[in-house]
Structure 1
């Protein structure tokens, strides 16, 4: 059981690249449908991912992400952001990749790192519950509705990884 979680605020501890791009980290929270336990056929049909609403209304859905701070390991930062924005806990797996992208909200450029997160627990309360909605969707629906092409690329990499190395059945139980 998790106690009250308070979101970090401010940017004084944020990491930046040498050319002043803010470094952000995030996760693709995922689970596999219960039928997967009997046999793994088509991962993409069995895969569900958790998407969250953007803070600005009408700006689509995305995967949780945010700033990587100086006092954190990269995977711990990705998990923290996922807890703050999506309210889920789980196992952070190996990095899917690194992308450089331009913000849709301003002219800033970012370096983004994404990780898969095998969800083990959904929290009833989380720091951004009042400003974000979360929804489990199929991988194909997430690709259609995700506002960032680099996040869709990360999802494709997750699907490829799961097809080549599916999770162990013991890891799938919530």
Structure 2
């Protein structure tokens, strides 16, 4: 695995109507639960990864600025690597929403 250098600065990030566009992801994995059931009835547990907020208490999903030279999927994947050190497959787009930073 190669070292990753995080992108810095906001001068190459996308903006729309004066608002910075960000992308993120919800990293998750399925874990098999061994509860004595037969293989046909194997249960799965979903584990979700959240990261500590740098600006105060709380947890959040990896997210960050959408760069001009990236597709939104590339931004989501890059932020997962930069902020949580995880890689995975993008399953589906969950949607878009507005939020205001503190």
Q: 1:39 to 1:20 in 2, by over 3 A?
A: farther
| Higher share in helix | 1
Q: 1:97 to 1:54 in 2, by over 3 A?
A: same
**In 2, distance between residues paired with 1:38 and 1:49?**
25
Structure 2 stretches lacking a partner, 5+ long: none
TM-align CA RMSD:
1.9
Structure 1 residue 12: Cα displacement: 1.0
Aligned residues: 98
The answer to whether the Cα contact below 8 Å between 2:14 and 2:65 also exists between their aligned partners in 1 is yes
Q: Secondary structure at the match of 2:47?
A: strand
Structure 1 residue 57: Cα displacement: 3.2
Structure 1 length as normaliser, TM-score? 0.52
Q: Secondary structure at the match of 1:56?
A: coil
**In 2, distance between residues paired with 1:74 and 1:38?**
38
The answer to whether the aligner puts 1:76 opposite 2:74 as a matched pair is: yes
| Higher share in strand | 1
Q: Secondary structure at the match of 1:90?
A: coil
**In 1, distance between residues paired with 2:96 and 2:85?**
24
**In 1, distance between residues paired with 2:40 and 2:51?**
30
Q: 1:57 to 1:83 in 2, by over 3 A?
A: same
Structure 1 stretches lacking a partner, 5+ long: 106-174
Q: 1:33 to 1:102 in 2, by over 3 A?
A: same
Bigger CA radius of gyration = 2
